[in-house]
Structure 1
Amino acid sequence: MLTKNQKTPIYFDAEIVDDSPTSVTGDEYDSEQVQQAIAEIDSSITIFRGIAQGAVLAGFQLTSTQSLYLAGSVGLFPAVIAGLPVGASFAATLCYLRFENGLIPKITNRQKLAIGVTRTAMLAASSWKLTGDAQQMDFIARGSFQVFTQQVREFEGIPQPSQNHFGFLLGFSVCAALALFLFLRKK
Structure 2
Amino acid sequence: MLIKNQNQTPIYFDAEIVDERTQHIQGEQYDSEQVQQAIAQTDGGVTVLRGIAQGAVLAGFQVASTQSLYLAGCVGLFPAVVAGLPVGLSVAGALCYLRFENSFIPTISDRQKFGLGVTRTLMLAASSWKLTTDAQQMDFVARSSFLGVTQQVKQYEGIESPKQTNFPLILGFTAVVAVILAFYWRKR
Query: 1:118: which partner in 2?
Result: 119
Gaps of 5+ in 1: 1-33, 180-187
1:147 is matched with: 148
Is 1:41 aligned to 2:41, yes or no?
Answer: yes
- How far did residue 126 of structure 1 move? 0.7
How many angstroms apart in 2 are the aligned matches of 1:141 and 1:129? 18
Q: Which residue in 2 is equivalent to 1:137?
A: 138
3-state SS of 2:101 partner: coil
Q: Tell me the amino acid that sits aligned with residue 76 of structure 1.
A: L
With 122-131 and 152-161 compared, the bigger mean Cα shift is at 152-161
Q: Counterparts of 2:38 and 2:120 in 1: how far apart (Å)?
A: 23
1:29 aligned residue = none
Q: Which amino acid aligns with 2:41?
A: I
The change in CA–CA distance for 1:53 and 1:173 in structure 2 (over 3 A counts) is: same
Once residues 142 and 36 of structure 2 are traced to their aligned partners in structure 1, the CA distance between those partners, rounded to angstroms, is 54
Task: State the Cα distance separating 1:73 from its structure 2 match.
Answer: 1.4
Between the aligned partners of 2:137 and 2:45, the Cα distance in structure 1 is 37
**Poorly superposed stretches of 4+, deviation over 6 Å:** 172-179
Quick one: percent identity of the two aligned structures? 67
How does the TM-score come out when normalised to structure 2?
A: 0.65
SS for the counterpart of 1:74 is coil
Matching residue of 1:10: none
Contact 1:51-1:122 at 8 Å conserved across structures: no
CA distance in 2, matches of 1:151, 1:126: 37
Question: What is residue 86 of structure 2 aligned with on the other side?
Answer: 85
2 CA distance for matches of 1:112 and 1:36?
18
How far 1:53 sits from its partner (Å)? 0.5
CA–CA distance in 1 between the matches of 2:112 and 2:60? Answer: 23
Distance change in 2, residues 1:120/1:177 (3 Å): closer
- In 2: Cα distance, 1:174 partner to 1:105 partner: 56
Give the direction of change, closer, same or farther, for the CA distance of 1:108–1:175 in structure 2 (3 Å limit). Answer: closer
- The structure-2 alpha-carbon separation of the partners of 1:142 and 1:36, relative to structure 1 and needing over 3 Å to count, comes to farther
1-side partners of 2:53 and 2:71: how far apart? Answer: 27
**Scaled by the length of structure 1, what TM-score is found?**
0.65
Q: What displacement does 1:37 show?
A: 5.7
Query: Aligned partners of 2:129, 2:77: CA distance in 1, in Å?
Result: 14
Matched, 1:109 2:90: no
Equivalent residue, structure 1, for 2:97: 96
Once the two structures are superposed, what CA deviation does each residue of 1:30-74 show, in whole Å capped at 9, x if it has no partner?
xxxx79963x42454333222210110111111111122122211
Task: Tell me the number of residue pairs that the alignment of Structure 1 and Structure 2 aligns.
Answer: 151
Contact 1:98 1:105 in 2 (8 A): yes
The correspondence of residues 63-74 of structure 1 with structure 2, limited to 5 A, is 63-74=64-75
What root-mean-square deviation, in Å, do the aligned CA atoms of Structure 1 and Structure 2 show?
3.1
